[in-house]
């Protein structure tokens, strides 16, 4: 039953500004301190991780992640306060949505076949 679930994405025009994957990436960058190590931990190419960050930074009116190259450890990336704010808003949004729609969600999920 863990494979039946709800996903919420927030769009800016045709592009996803925030969603499950981007939120997870932000959290992983926060704990890892760099895009590359976050990508490795999430088993995602650096290219893709960087692109997701780029999309977010371009969608919002402030950067959610700042980064620098060079230095002793090659550089790194970290969430901005704004990034933390957006991330928390999204996480809260998902939780509240799940709570508020328990009835309807269950009406749908309980009628799904098993998958995988």
Partner DNA sequence: TATCGTTATTCCTATTTGAATATAACGATA
Partner DNA sequence: TATCGTTATATTCAAATAGGAATAACGATA
61: contact with a second copy by CB under 8 A: yes
Shortest Cβ 75–a second copy spacing (Å) = 26
Residue 13: name its binding partner from a second copy, DNA, none (Cβ under 5 to 8 Å by kind).
a second copy
Nearest to 28 by CA among 48, 13, 8: 48
Q: Which residue has the tokens 């309980």?
A: 110
28: contact with DNA by CB under 7 A: no
Q: List, in order, residues 6 or more apart from 38 with CB less than 8 Å away.
A: 25, 28, 29, 32, 49, 77
Which is closer to a second copy, CB of 37 or CB of 57? Answer: 57
Shortest Cβ 25–DNA spacing (Å) = 12
């Amino acid at each position: 039953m863990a494979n039946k679930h709800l996903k919420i994405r927030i769009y800016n025009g045709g592009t996803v500004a925030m969603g499950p994957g981007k939120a997870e990436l932000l959290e992983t960058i926060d704990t890892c301190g760099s895009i590359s190590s976050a990508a490795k931990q999430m088993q995602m190419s650096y290219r893709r991780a960087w692109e997701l960050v780029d999309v977010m930074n371009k969608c919002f009116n402030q950067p959610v992640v700042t980064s620098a190259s060079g230095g002793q450890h090659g550089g790194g990336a970290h969430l901005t306060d704004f990034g933390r704010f957006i991330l928390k808003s999204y996480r809260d949004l998902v939780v509240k949505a799940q709570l508020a729609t328990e009835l309807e969600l269950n009406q749908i999920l309980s009628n799904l076949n098993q998958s995988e």
